[in-house]
Amino acid sequence: MSDPVSPRVRPEKPAGVLYLGIDLGTSRTSVAASNGVRETVASYVGYPRDVIARKALKKDVLFGDEAVRNRLALDLLRPLQGGVIRHSDGDPNSADAQRHLKATRDLIRHAISLARPKADELIYAVVGCPARCSVKNKSAIVEAVRPVVDSVMIVSEPFTVAYGLERLSDCLVIDIGAGTTDLCRMHGTMPTEEDQLTNEFAGDHVDQQLLKLLQAKCTGAVVTIHTVKEIKEKYSFVGDARDPVHVELPVNGKPTRFEIGAEMRAACRTIVPPMVDAIHQLIASFDPDFQSRLKNNALLGGGGSQMSGLRDMLEAEMKERLGEGRVVRVDEPTYGGANGALKIAHDMPPEFWEKLS
């Protein structure tokens, strides 16, 4: 089976240095590069099930939306769960661990190939990982990336968002991904374990809740998790005031219209209480003299931050529980992590890269 890109051979006389910032997400993998290329791909990897499928698809491996579209002919893998490589916490030699590690490798190689690196340039990459990712998980990511770059570093995802926005002190980053919601308080030094919290009440959790609610509400309708994800990406909201949300789902093969506004709101709201608890916990345990600054400098990023009304709801909850609160949504939720990782890669002293190569 061919790889999307060949293992990297270090150029003898590099013509330049390509810095890459990679946000290896459960739902999407985004890459920002110092050649101006920015690309994002859904974190799905598919391998043709048999020779016939391979002949029809004319590919050994498919990625992203193309893999999802052809899923019936593929062994479809979503190699990341909760922001880390599936099964990477267990026995690394198990078949499942190896399968998902290979899929992650292929996905990263594909993401890097999307950045269209020149063969004769050095590639230095910073990869964002969940705030409280284990050493084993981080090692698995490093192992997956190393063969295709010249040097790689792993950095906590919410930290990359803050660094990219030059918000290194007195701010609280809330990064809502598909697998995890990561929170990190920034106070001018490297965040420690106590400064970061991760929970799995994130996009995938909303999908599961919405799936259950739609199965109960839409009698006879066939709903898959892929459909739910698409619906959520179009209509997600948490506020009270809303327009009706009409969707068409097949009932006995016939497209049938359903109004699912209440279900959508209920599912989206399930991630809010754990998020507010985490905000509360990080602020309450911080130096009292600086708590107010944190409360008024919350940065909301990640794909989940695009839920309509979420910013207002978080501010309202913070005012009620903490007395005050100001939340700002980052400009580019999809690329916030990758942009920050790219900035870190660029700023990192060259000798550090050399030592890790």
Partner 1 sequence: MTCVQNSFMSRLAGLFRSKSDLTTLRQLERAGVRSVNVLDLGRLEQLVGEAMESALREALSTGGSAELAAGGAQVEFLRRLGLHDRLADHGRELEAQSATLAGQRVELEGALRQSRAELDRRRQQEFTVARQRLQDALDALLGAAFDSLRTAASGSERLAAEVERQQPLLRSALLALLEQSLRTDAGEVAPAASGATAATAAHEAAERERLERRVRKLSAQLLETEELLARTRAAQAEAPGVPSVHRTPQGLAADAQDRTAKKSLLAAIFEHNLELRRTLAEPRPAAVAEQSPKTATPGADAR
Q: Binders of partner 1 among 335-354, rule CB under 8 A? A: 335, 344, 346-350, 352-353
CB closer to partner 1, 259 vs 354: 354
Three-class DSSP category at 181: strand
Least separation in angstroms between residue 29's CB and partner 1 is 13
Half-sphere exposure of 45 (CA within 13 A, CB side): 24
Stretch that binds partner 1, among 45-53, 137-145, 214-222, 292-300 (CB under 8 A): 137-145
Specify the stretch interacting with partner 1 by CB under 8 A; choose among 95-103, 128-136, 211-219, 246-254. Answer: 128-136
- What token pair was written down for 280? 């509360």
Q: Which residue in 154, 228, 300, 318 binds partner 1 (CB under 8 A)?
A: 154
CA Rg value for the chain = 21
Q: Which of 6, 98, 134, 285 binds partner 1 (CB under 8 A)?
A: 134
Please, which contacts does 72-78 make with residues 24 or more away whose CB atoms are closer than 8 Å? Answer: 73/48, 73/49, 74/46, 74/47, 74/48, 74/49, 75/46, 75/47, 75/48, 75/49, 76/44, 76/45, 76/46, 77/44, 77/45, 77/46, 77/47, 77/103, 78/26, 78/43, 78/44, 78/45
Could you say which residues in the range 218-277 bind partner 1, by CB under 8 A?
A: 233-234, 274, 277
Per rule CB under 8 A, is residue 355 in the interface with partner 1?
A: yes
The Cα–Cα gap between 202 and 157 comes to 15
Residues 33-72 interacting with partner 1 (rule: CB under 8 A): 33-37, 40, 55, 58-59
138 binds partner 1 (CB under 8 A): yes
If one asks whether residue 299 binds partner 1 (CB under 8 A), the answer comes out as: no
Report yes or no: 278 and 271 within 8 Å, Cβ to Cβ: no
Question: Considering the rule CB under 8 A, would residue 3 count as an interface residue with partner 1?
Answer: no
Rule CB under 8 A: say whether 333 interacts with partner 1: yes
Stretch of 117-125, 219-227, 285-293, 309-317 contacting partner 1, by CB under 8 A:
117-125
Closest CA to 158 of 134, 125, 182: 182
Candidate list 75, 170, 315, 332; residue touching partner 1; CB under 8 A? 332
